[in-house]
Chain A
Amino acid sequence: MSHYTKVRTTIKSETALLQALADLGFGPTKIKQSKEAQQLEGFQGDLREQTAEIIIPRRHVQSSANDIGFKLQEDGTYEAIISDYDKVKYNKDWLGKLTQRYAYNNLKNELSDGGFFIESESEEKGEILMQVGTLSTGFGV
């Protein structure tokens, strides 16, 4: 018998978020990170009212771009701040890919601590597939 569960991923782990951004080409040298949220810069270098703890500086985003920010919310989740101009490129599909890479990295980081191990992993039609086993005998297997 198989049991199916679908969970919607929420960006909570700073580590997994940074790993996901690196997977999409924004490694440590292309990220500005601070404990206290900093104001985002607009395409002319002007400071915007929006703030974020994790920022992709506009020079790394695209030509004439604004900063992209990831703002930590009171509930511990991160919210992406993307200007209307940059949403043409950094759109729903990009956010989906980022969320997918986040979920993948977060799983890899957390599964071993939770008594699981990854037997295999692959990618098919844009989806990531993993086979996972458990080290624990406490699940009645």
Chain B
Amino acid sequence: MSAPISIRIDKDGNVHFEVHGVEGPSCEKLTEALIRATGAEVEKSLNEEYALERPDYIQNFNE
């Protein structure tokens, strides 16, 4: 038996999950399992040490 899950990885590498047909605690459990599986839960990304000024997209992560 399967639970269809749509995953979209956008141009910045952000992962978007869409879980269909699962509600309540089961949905949360499935979502947590997905996040565990991807290891992508920390809200940070690659940045650049050399830059004197960090670009906007990096500064936004820390706000």
Chain A interface residues toward B at CB < 8 A: 1-13, 50, 71, 75, 77-84, 87, 92-93, 95-104, 106-107, 110-111, 113-117, 119, 126-135, 137-141
Contact partner of A133 among B4, B11, B40, B42, CB < 8 A? B4
Q: What is the number of contacts between chain A and chain B, taking CB atoms within 8 Å?
A: 193
- Asked if A12 and B22 make an inter-chain contact with CB atoms under 8 angstroms apart, the answer reads no
- Secondary structure type dominating chain A contacts: mixed
| Tally of chain B residues near chain A (CB < 8 A) | 52
A-B contacts, 27 listed (Cβ < 8 Å): A1-B21, A2-B20, A5-B17, A5-B35, A7-B35, A8-B61, A9-B45, A10-B42, A13-B39, A79-B47, A81-B49, A97-B13, A103-B38, A103-B40, A104-B9, A107-B37, A110-B39, A111-B38, A116-B33, A127-B8, A128-B9, A130-B8, A134-B2, A134-B33, A139-B27, A139-B29, A141-B21
Chain B interface residues toward A at CB < 8 A: 1-27, 29-31, 33-51, 55, 57, 61
Q: Which 3 A-B pairs have the closest CB atoms?
A: A99-B13, A133-B2, A140-B26
